[in-house]
Amino acid sequence: MKEGGLRLLTPGEIALARGVFRNTIPWHKVWIHRDSYLPFGLQSRNAAMAPNGEIYFRNNYRDDFSKESIALQHIFIHELAHVWQREKGMNVRIRGLFSWAADYTYTLGERFLNEYALEQQAQIIADYFVLDKFGYQSWLDGKRYFGITCLNDEPEALIRSRYAKVLLLF
């Protein structure tokens, strides 16, 4: 698709995302843009944004994220987490204005998902997606090579139990 185009989610993307969000997102309303959300193309070419229930990609746009690398699926799930947050009533657009200054890192501990900041929530969901779908080694690789921002350095069983607690009410 050329810059400026948009499309709905593919069946593969919906199946992938349903494994995480079940039916809490109206899949038929989520548009994927290959464009800048910000005027005059001010959205960074390597950034994705989902301020209004739709997702805006530039360089990282793909025709079907369900067929892409773990790293790109991680970004896709992170952005869908912002769509989910918006569906839950969070003001993603206003809070997202400050995402450039947000801390995406987190430590799994005694808190539930809703007690973390907006970007940390999206990271937790996307990071757990990698652990659950691709396994602990891929999750560890993600800490080194792409976007996984969990600061815990613990054995797999403990990491899984910590995510289970944090995501208990998700």
Rounding to the nearest 10 degrees, give the CA dihedral for residues 38, 32, 114, 68.
-120
Active site residue 79: yes
Q: Which of 13, 79, 110, 115 is catalytic?
A: 79
Q: Identify which of 15, 136, 28 has the alpha carbon closest to the alpha carbon of residue 76.
A: 15
Q: Identify which of 133, 131, 165, 161 has the alpha carbon closest to the alpha carbon of residue 148.
A: 131
Handedness of CA 18, 20, 22, 25 (dihedral sign): negative
Tokens of 110: 């005694």
Catalytically active residues, by annotation: 79
